[in-house]
Amino acid sequence: MIVGILKEIKTEENRVSMTPAGVEVMTAKGHQVLVESLAGVGSGFSNEAYQAAGAEIVATAAEVYARSEMVMHVKEPQPSEYELIRPGQIVFTYFHFAACEELTRAMLKTGAIAIAYETIVDADNTLPLLTPMSEVAGRMAAQQAAKYSERAQGGRGILLGGVPGVPPANVLVIGGGVVGTHAAQMACGLGAKVYLLDTSLNRLRHLSEVMPKNCFPMMSSPATIRDLVQQADVVIGAVLVHGAKAPKLVTREMLKTMKKGAVLVDIAIDQGGCFETSRPTTHTTPTYEVDGILHYCVANMPGAVPLTSTVALTNATLPYAAAIAAEDWREVVRKHAGIRAGVNVACGKVTYQGVAEAFGLEYTPVDQLLISIP
Check pLDDT > 80 for residue 217: yes
The pLDDT value recorded for residue 245 is 85
Query: Is 270 annotated as catalytic?
Result: yes
pLDDT tier for residue 176 given thresholds of 50, 70 and 90: very high
pTM: predicted TM-score of the whole model, two decimal places = 0.90
Contact (Cβ atoms closer than 8 angstroms) between residue 90 and residue 113: yes
Q: 263-306: per-residue pLDDT in tens? A: 999 999 988 999 999 999 999 999 999 999 999 999 999 999 99
Q: 314-368: per-residue pLDDT in tens? A: 999 999 999 999 999 999 999 999 999 999 999 999 999 999 999 999 999 999 9
Domain ranges of the chain: 2-127+305-370, 130-304
Dihedral angle at the C-alpha atoms of 211, 213, 215, 216, nearest 10 degrees?
Answer: 110
Would the annotation count 267 as a binding residue?
yes
The pLDDT value recorded for residue 332 is 96
Would the annotation count 205 as a binding residue?
no
User: Catalytic one among 31, 182, 266, 270?
Assistant: 270
User: Catalytic one among 96, 182, 233, 295?
Assistant: 96
Would the annotation count 203 as a binding residue?
yes
- In terms of CATH architecture, what is 130-304? 3-Layer(aba) Sandwich (3.40)
Give the chain's mean pLDDT: 96
Residue 192's φ and ψ, nearest 5 degrees, are -75, 160
- Asked whether this chain's domains 2-127+305-370 and 130-304 adopt the same fold, the reply is yes
DSSP designation for 267: G
Q: 197-213: per-residue pLDDT in tens? A: 999 999 999 999 999 99
User: Could you tell me if residue 285 is left (phi over 0), alpha (psi between -120 and 50 degrees) or otherwise beta?
Assistant: beta
Check pLDDT > 90 for residue 29: yes
Question: Residues of the chain with pLDDT > 90: what percent?
Answer: 95
Q: Beta strand 349-350 with 170-174: parallel, antiparallel or unpaired? A: unpaired
pLDDT tier for residue 372 given thresholds of 50, 70 and 90: confident
- CA–CA distance, 92 with 331 (Å, rounded to integer): 16
Would the annotation count 46 as a binding residue?
no
| Amino acid residing at 70 | M
At the topology level of CATH, where does 2-127+305-370 sit?
Rossmann fold (3.40.50)
Q: 76-105: per-residue pLDDT in tens? A: 999 999 999 999 999 999 999 998 999 999
